[in-house]
Structure 1
């Protein structure tokens, strides 16, 4: 083998190795479907699918600083169908931090600012279910806590699933 061929072969091996490693910051996007299941406040307990139907469409960008910590920005339009009338009821701005917990689990701690005048925070536990070379599918449990706009504080438990790319 010639020296040039050997050098090309060595460079090829090293360049392949470097491309297979994750480079930070790493940027990913995602889209999901969110179903709030139950919302509890001092005034009432409301159950989705029984009292009304509500759905949200979380869309966001994650910027991973390293393999353990990142920043996320999410926007969630919410639609509600109540007694035959449906409309966009809210737009949620949802920035937060991401902490990789291992084994496909991630914690997201998000601040919440709603166009309805409510605000609060949302802890989210996320689990990657299927991971491929081009995308991954995930399920999450968001637990929103909200205040403001002359309503009592509320707590919601929800279920979210989606695709990240």
Structure 2
């Protein structure tokens, strides 16, 4: 026979389990991805990746979520370019920014951009969580880098990124 003590103990257990399973903030996550710039446009030319060269970046970062809606992110992106028989790291990008959860697995990242090549600018990013498990999640993102400086014309790039967050 179930007594009041049993019901109380079961209720207390369920409530405590529910409290401990909730996410606490600030919440810190890390991630790693692969970035493919697709095309870059400026007043002098249009450059298309995969045609005359291959460029790839490896975004690695930490997100600190203040609450469910807003967070801060710091990302570092080494970029490699392969052209003909030559391959080299061409740039290191420092990419701090703000995160805004949009719902349904979408996140907006508004990033400042500081490149070791002397360029600077902003990068708006739309991110979508594709698969989520208890230990990690897989995501796809579309960054739109806008760059200035270093005696080059202003440029706009469209890219594709995918990765894993943990």
Structure 1 match to 2:110: 109
Structure 2 match to 1:36: 37
Structure 1 match to 2:74: 73
Residues 1:142 and 2:143 are matched in the alignment = yes
Q: Aligned partners of 1:127 and 1:157: how far apart in 2?
A: 16
TM-score between both structures, scaled by the size of structure 1: 0.94
Structure 2 match to 1:50: 51
Superposed, 1:1-165 pairs within 5 Å as: 9-165=10-166
Instruction: Report how far residue 21 of structure 1 moved.
Output: 1.1
Q: Aligned partners of 1:115 and 1:131: how far apart in 2?
A: 34
5+ unaligned residues in a row in structure 2: which ranges? none
TM-score between both structures, scaled by the size of structure 2: 0.94
What value does the CA root-mean-square deviation take over the aligned residues? 1.5
Instruction: Report how far residue 32 of structure 1 moved.
Output: 0.2
SS state at 1:43 partner: coil
Q: Aligned partners of 2:5 and 2:165: how far apart in 1?
A: 42
Instruction: Report how far residue 105 of structure 1 moved.
Output: 0.4
SS state at 2:38 partner: strand
Instruction: Report how far residue 15 of structure 1 moved.
Output: 2.1
Instruction: Report how far residue 51 of structure 1 moved.
Output: 1.7
Q: Aligned partners of 1:18 and 1:51: how far apart in 2?
A: 55
Instruction: Report how far residue 5 of structure 1 moved.
Output: 6.7
Q: Aligned partners of 2:76 and 2:34: how far apart in 1?
A: 12
